[in-house]
């Protein structure tokens, strides 16, 4: 397998790789700004959607699910692991048809959305350390493996 | 893509990853030490499967900085399935956190030869988790390497290098098709540990 693949690559000087990394770190600054803009826009859409809750409406739940899933995805890729963990829990909650009551669902989703917003506001990266553990404990979400 | 390869190869004499001229000596197991080898990826084509547009754009940007020869992106395993035979990538990069079971089915299809590309193609899986069931399933579906997020330049680059340099035997059994799972770290130069010397895959 890899012999064919290896015939397509060549060793290059480490210096070139270091240059690429330097370019990437500059690009990351720009991408971080885009990331924050993207997450803030997604959160805004989420709060707008939740301001007119229709928990029994499948289309409404679908829209909310897509927004939570978006945050779940970008969070992991950009070292905001808590966005991923909470976004995933939110997706699961939205998909869960067996929730005991509409008010329970509403409370849970509102708490998740507020937590997602807080993570970005206070820039809680990675697993968030003690703050992250506390946040997950309040939300009753098991920390990610 | 073809023009990129010609361009990349014309810049310097072609040498293998062990520094020998290609064609003169087989690439053997070797040790990098702590430094990941710097590879010119201009001759490599990637198929990236990720259902988040923002992340796809981000990855494309990083791969372009790495000067990967060609990058084709797909939003989901279904569209990838439709395009993969035409694209004929060298490496498939798939995010299993989002594609979930569809992604695993695609991996299995590739390994079983049902995707219209060589079944021993290199497959790099990205995941935010290291312990989840589906990471084990990705390994059992025949992934070469599982890349733990966040997706930084360094991690993506090392992930590509790992699958390029993966010199494990390719196992084709009734139950499992993919790189030999007995090697814990399956990459040249990284000390793989044979966990089950008596087992077959």
Mean residue pLDDT of chain A comes to 89
Report DSSP letters for B136-156, one per residue.
Answer: HHHHHTT-SEEEESS--HHHH
Query: pLDDT in tens for each of the 201 residues of chain B?
Result: 333 333 333 343 443 343 334 443 333 344 445 578 999 999 999 999 998 899 999 999 999 999 999 999 999 998 999 999 999 999 999 988 777 668 889 999 999 999 999 999 999 998 877 667 777 888 999 999 998 888 889 999 999 999 999 888 999 999 999 999 886 554 444 444 444 444 444
pLDDT at B1: 38
Contact A99, A77 (CB under 8 A): no
CB contacts, 8 Å: A73 with chain B:
50-52, 54-55, 95, 97-98
d(CA A135, CA A119): 10
Q: What 3 state SS string does chain A have?
A: CHHHHHCCCEECCHHHHHHHHHHHHHHHHHHHHHHHHHHHHHHHHHHHHHCCCCCCCHHHHHHHHHHHHHHHHHHHHCCCHHHHHHHHHHHHHHHCCCCCCHHHHHHHHHHHHHHHHHHHHCCCCCCCHHHHHHHHHHHCCCCCC
Predicted structure pTM score: 0.78
Question: Chain A, 120-139: which have a CB under 8 Å from a chain B CB?
Answer: none
Positive or negative CA dihedral for A80, A84, A87, A93? Answer: negative
For residue A26, pLDDT over 50 is answered with yes
Domains of chain B, CATH where assigned: 40-179 (3.40.50.2300)
Q: Which residues pair with B173 in a beta bridge?
A: none
Determine the distance in angstroms separating the CA of A96 from the nearest CA of chain B, rounded to an integer.
Answer: 17
Model confidence pLDDT, tens digit, residues A66-87: 999 899 888 888 889 999 899 9
For residue A17, pLDDT over 80 is answered with yes
CB contacts, 8 Å: B129 with chain A:
144-145
């Amino acid at each position: 397998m890899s012999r064919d693949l290896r015939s397509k690559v060549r060793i290059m000087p480490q210096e070139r790789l270091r240059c690429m990394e330097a370019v990437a770190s500059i690009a990351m600054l720009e991408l971080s700004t885009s990331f924050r803009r993207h997450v803030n826009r997604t959160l805004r859409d989420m709060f707008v959607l939740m301001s007119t809750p229709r928990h029994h409406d499948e289309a409404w739940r679908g829209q909310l699910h897509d927004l939570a899933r978006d945050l779940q995805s970008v969070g992991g890729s950009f070292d905001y692991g808590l966005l991923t963990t909470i976004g995933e829990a939110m997706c699961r909650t939205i998909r869960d048809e067996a929730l005991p009551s509409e008010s329970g669902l509403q409370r849970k989703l509102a708490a998740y959305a507020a937590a997602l917003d807080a993570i970005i506001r206070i820039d809680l990266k990675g697993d968030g350390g003690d703050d992250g553990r506390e946040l997950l404990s309040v939300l009753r979400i098991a920390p990610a493996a | 893509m073809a023009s990129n390869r010609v361009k990349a190869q014309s810049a310097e004499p072609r040498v293998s990853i062990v520094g020998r001229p290609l064609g003169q000596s087989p690439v053997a197991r070797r040790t990098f030490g702590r430094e990941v080898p710097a590879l010119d990826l201009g001759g490599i084509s990637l198929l990236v499967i990720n259902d988040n547009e923002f992340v796809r754009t981000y990855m494309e940007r990083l791969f372009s900085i790495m000067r990967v020869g060609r990058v084709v992106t797909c939003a989901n395993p279904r569209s990838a399935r439709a395009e993969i035979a035409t694209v004929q990538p060298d490496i498939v990069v798939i995010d299993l956190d989002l594609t979930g079971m569809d992604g695993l089915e695609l991996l299995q299809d590739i390994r079983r030869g049902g995707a219209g590309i060589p079944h021993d193609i290199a497959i790099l899986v990205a995941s935010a988790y290291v312990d989840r069931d589906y990471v084990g399933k990705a390994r059992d579906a025949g992934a070469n390497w599982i890349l733990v997020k966040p997706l930084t330049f360094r991690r993506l680059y090392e992930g590509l290098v790992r699958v390029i340099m993966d010199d494990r035997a390719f196992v084709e059994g009734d139950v499992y098709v993919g790189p030999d799972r007995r090697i814990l770290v399956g990459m040249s130069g990284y000390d793989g540990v044979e966990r089950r010397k008596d087992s077959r895959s």
